[in-house]
Amino acid sequence: MKSLMIKNIALGLLIAGCAASNAYALTGVSAKYIVGNAPVIKSLGGKDHSLTVSVSSDADGNNTVGGRAAKVNDYVVIEYNLHDEDGDSDPSGKVVKETFKAFYKSASGEWKEASLTESDIKFSNGKITFKITNEFAGATQIGFKVLEKTEFGLPYTNKWLKVADIWSKQAPGQVDTLDPTDPSKAPSDDINGPTKDEIGSNPNDGPGEQKDPNKITNGPIESDDMRVYILAADSNDNYSITGSTFVPKQGGKYRAVVWLDSNGNGALDSGETDLSANYNFTWELEGTYAGVGATTDSLSQNQNITLGQLNNDSMYSTTYKAGAQGYKLKVTATAK
């Protein structure tokens, strides 16, 4: 019994000692959260807040194209390294996918967000590839936005990068995010970023780096649906499209247009897009008459032309037997 009493007293002292210890413990908690380093997107050449861009004829980006306008069914290939000194990453491209959007400046000058489907765009580690679909036809610029972001870490975001012209040599524009050091700010709170109008606010914002500076394409984006039409004026100077039976005449008034013939019916239908403002025009004669071939001299470099009425008009070569008679009228449209 005596032994039991000693054990109880010892246990009581032990419990009392613990309580006394806890009662006098002091704690301190930092006002701010522990942070690491912000993620940075780098171009393949190592430039901070930059990406490497090319236009390719294949989805894997193996055939960079240049020396011509980009076309529908080409691919925009964006490559980068997502650098984070703490080791935070985005190995599957999943996080970048949540923030990426493509845009284009339409022939009318309006900025629009591209309606890309899952089959049109592919994300992987350090690479984004999207198809130039029919909606890009006639576009003068292609742009995009993406957020420097990792799946975890604090801060998990850095800057929004905005590009208005994938062919520009300038660096992307940068837009701040919500407080990236506050974990209570969910990624969804900052998922939208710059609007389409903000993307176009500086038309010279580029990706920062071209994959092959010797192979740079440009706009307007060409399409197999684009046509160059010759319109003829009536006596009231109203122009209408000419058909296969059209016979041009000396003294006649004509106009060239570049048209996106979406339904392929060969007509200038309401609602289709006139792309003429993005092109320069060169009028020439083509063919041979009375043994004299047409020269390469242009008749005019305007959208409209009035053919000389007389055979000896100054717009015709002196080698021609009868002015423009016997030749075909030709117009070539070249992107500005």
Domain definitions of the chain by residue range: 40-222, 226-335
- What's the confidence (pLDDT) of residue 187? 52
Output helix, strand, coil percentages for the chain, rounded to the nearest 5.
10, 35, 55
Please identify which residue in the block is written with the tokens 């650098």: 83
User: How many C-alpha atoms does 72 have within 13 Å on its Cβ side?
Assistant: 14
Contact 227, 261 (CB under 8 A): yes
- What's the confidence (pLDDT) of residue 20? 44
Nearest-angstrom CA–CA distance, 81 and 272: 41
- What's the confidence (pLDDT) of residue 67? 81
pLDDT by residue for the chain (336 residues), tens only, comes to 344 344 443 434 334 444 444 556 899 998 888 887 888 999 999 999 999 999 999 999 999 998 888 999 999 999 999 887 777 667 777 778 889 999 999 988 899 999 999 999 999 989 999 999 999 999 999 999 999 988 777 878 889 999 999 999 999 999 988 767 776 665 555 567 899 999 999 999 999 999 988 887 788 999 988 999 999 998 888 888 877 788 999 999 999 999 988 887 877 887 788 899 889 999 999 999 999 999 999 999 999 999 999 999 999 999 999 999 999 999 999 988
Q: What is the pTM of this model?
A: 0.79
- What's the confidence (pLDDT) of residue 214? 82
- What's the confidence (pLDDT) of residue 160? 94
Long-range contacts, 287-292 (Cβ 8 Å, 24+): 287/326, 287/327, 287/328, 288/327, 289/320, 289/321, 289/322, 289/325, 289/326, 289/327, 290/321, 290/322, 290/326, 292/319, 292/320, 292/321
- What's the confidence (pLDDT) of residue 117? 95
Nearest-angstrom CA–CA distance, 14 and 8: 10
- What's the confidence (pLDDT) of residue 231? 92
Joined tokens for residue 165: 């012209």
